[in-house]
Amino acid sequence: MIIDKIDIDCPYCNKEFSISVDSVGSSVSCPFCKKEFMTEDDGIKSAVEDAENDILNTLSNLL
């Protein structure tokens, strides 16, 4: 995976932080307020995969 981190907002303190794409759909803890919450995969993983495929296509067209 090229893109392995995404930015999310904590639902408790509204601060933005990065989580690994693998954590999407499971519970994560906020580094600021230390609360745990579930992240939902609203097509985030497939959006990341699409973005990666676009990058790979662009790169292979350049070579």
Q: Smallest Cα–Cα separation from 33: which of 13, 7, 8, 9?
A: 13
Q: How far is the CB of 39 from Zn ion (least distance, A)?
A: 13
- Site for Zn ion contains 29 (CB under 5 A): no
Q: By CB under 5 A, is residue 18 in contact with Zn ion?
A: no
Assess contact for 28 and 11: CB atoms under 8 A: no
Question: How far, CA to CA in Å, does 23 sit from each of 10, 15, 51?
Answer: 14, 17, 18
C-beta closer to Zn ion: residue 17 or 52: 17
Binding of Zn ion at residue 33 (CB under 5 A)?
yes
Query: Could you list the residues that contact Zn ion (CB under 5 A)?
Result: 10, 12-13, 30, 32-33
